[in-house]
Structure 1
Amino acid sequence: MLTLEKNARIVFAGDSITDAGRDRTAEPGGWGFGTGYVNQIHCLLSAIYPDYELVTINSGVSGDDIVMMAERWQRDVLDLEPDYVSVLIGVNDVWRHFDQPFWKPKRHGIDVYEQVYEDLIERTLPHVKGMIIVGPFMYEANQQEPMRAMVSRFAECARRLAERHGLPYVDVQSAIDRYLTRQHTCIVSQDRVHPYERGAVLITREWLRAVGFDWEREAIDD
């Protein structure tokens, strides 16, 4: 059974995987959801649960790490008065350690990630009905590859935080790992981080599972 209450407002926060080219001029919850998993979730919830009249808002910002996201949390999340907040953040916290070796931007480790994430959860929970924590991931099958290994450590941190606060945790990496036993990463992502639309489906399916989405639902107003 769907764990989201009827007429609820769901705000999705995160980086470019959440942003996915959303229209920043759009009325929040009205249109412009981007081409990624947020749009897919919006379409499926709207089509299969029309009686719930759920409002979907995409607040993802391309390039964000957890520190950058936290700086705008009040404006981008809390000011939108959400009932539920879904968070997918962490891959940029890792990526900056690998993709700019000849320039030294501000970098932080998993300790900062955990502290800031904990603060955001504690700051948000008194104002919402629930939060959904989505673990960061890569479309990379080799678990010993250095960036993938670090992403996995950040994902385990996100899982611990979810468990600590009794929140649903969406394990996208496990779904990706299963997929990559049969197909190459280039089918779902160009750079192992940003998904094509079919790569976003893996995120969407796991997120919907976490909130009790019924793929076979036929009755309305049940």
Structure 2
Amino acid sequence: MDYSRRSFLREITTASLGAAGAYWLPTLAPEKTAGNKAFDAIPQEGRVLFQGDSITDAGRDREAEAANTGLGRGYAFLAAAQLRKTLAERNVQCFNRGISGHKVFQLADRWQTDTYDLDPDLLSILIGVNDFWHTLNDYDGTVEVYERDFRNLLIQTREQLPDARLIIGEPFVILEGSAVSEEEWMPDFREYQQVAKEIAMEFEAGFIPYQSVFNEASKHVESTYWTADGVHPTLAGSQLMAEAWLQTAQRL
């Protein structure tokens, strides 16, 4: 037979992979992807906004303002990638506006431009580690300040974005990390985690128990596999966070 070069290569590649038992084709039915239980909080052309500090920032390109660009290399990027693949027919628009080092009051200072103007259908917030961590240096905040600022921010958000659904991530820490001292962090940091949980309940937000997620994962490998410094996740830790985020978003 008179094969073209392209046809010939396709035939032998298919035959070789098939013989090895490795030939497969991915599904192209995104709305029926395994694990897609609902995502009812995200409509057609829905907007998803990730907000927070350096864990969300994850080296994003702050000059990239368009949807689905400049998402960084952390959990927000990984979650957005899976979300857009799973909900391809909805053409979900994802944004990352996390900024390294930020505390709640700094979110509030930029909330108009970085949140209200984007008009998200789903707003995800992970904030709190700096509200505590920086008190060990030159910040005079307290857990009461964190609670007051966070609650006020969400009260205003509910007024401006009454239909937006919320996800709140629990601030977390790995005590074996190189940047963390258990003596300095515990038990005070747990109060910040409790505040985040209570506020999530108060505002009927999806809550991601990241501390439990990392604690459970650390039963199988060293905890620093997930975050070397105890605060910023590794690649594997970011994937762990993304999966927990997606599971929460599915159920809103």
Scaled to the shorter chain, the TM-score interval is 0.7 to 0.9
Which residue is equivalent to 1:132?
A: 167
Q: Deviations over 1:126-151 (max 9, x none)?
A: 31421111110012379x65415333
Given the alignment, which residue of 90, 100, 121 partners 1:52?
Answer: 90
Residue 47 of structure 2 corresponds to which residue in structure 1? 9
In structure 2, what is the Cα distance between the partners aligned to 1:64 and 1:18?
11
Q: Which amino acid aligns with 1:182?
A: H
Structure 1 unmatched ranges of 5 or more = 214-222
Partner of 1:73: 111
- Work out which of the residue numbers 133, 140, 159 in structure 2 matches 1:107: 140
Q: CA deviation at 1:206?
A: 1.3
1:38 is displaced (CA, Å) by: 0.5
> SS where residue 158 of structure 1 aligns?
helix
**Which residue identity does 1:132 align to in structure 2?**
I
Q: Is the 8 A contact 2:174 2:227 kept in 1?
A: yes
Kept in 2, the 8 Å contact 1:86–1:133? The answer is yes
* TM-superposition CA deviations, 1:52-100 (whole Å, max 9, x none): 21111000000101111211111211121212211000000111123x3
Does structure 2 conserve the Cα–Cα contact (< 8 Å) formed by 1:141 and 1:177? no
Give the alignment's TM-score, normalised by structure 1: 0.87
Q: Which moved more, 1:146-155 or 1:122-131?
A: 146-155
Matched, 1:62 2:100: yes
Matched, 1:119 2:157: no
Query: Which residue type is aligned with residue 106 of structure 1?
Result: Y
Letter matched to residue 3 of structure 1: D
* Amino acid aligned to 1:75: T
Does the Cα contact within 8 Å between 2:51 and 2:96 map onto a contact in 1? yes
Query: What count of residue pairs does the alignment treat as equivalent?
Result: 208
Shift of 1:158: 0.8
Higher relative contact order (CA 8 A, sep 6+): 1
- Matched to 2:90, the amino acid is Y
Higher helix share: 2
TM-score normalised by length of structure 2: 0.77
5+ residue gaps in structure 2? Answer: 1-37
Between the two proteins, what is the percent identity of the paired residues?
Answer: 30
Change (3 A) 1:68 1:180: same
Q: How many Å separate the matches in 1 of 2:196 and 2:76?
A: 20
Secondary structure at 2:187's aligned position in 1? helix
Once the two structures are TM-superposed, the CA of residue 208 in structure 1 deviates from its matched residue by 0.9
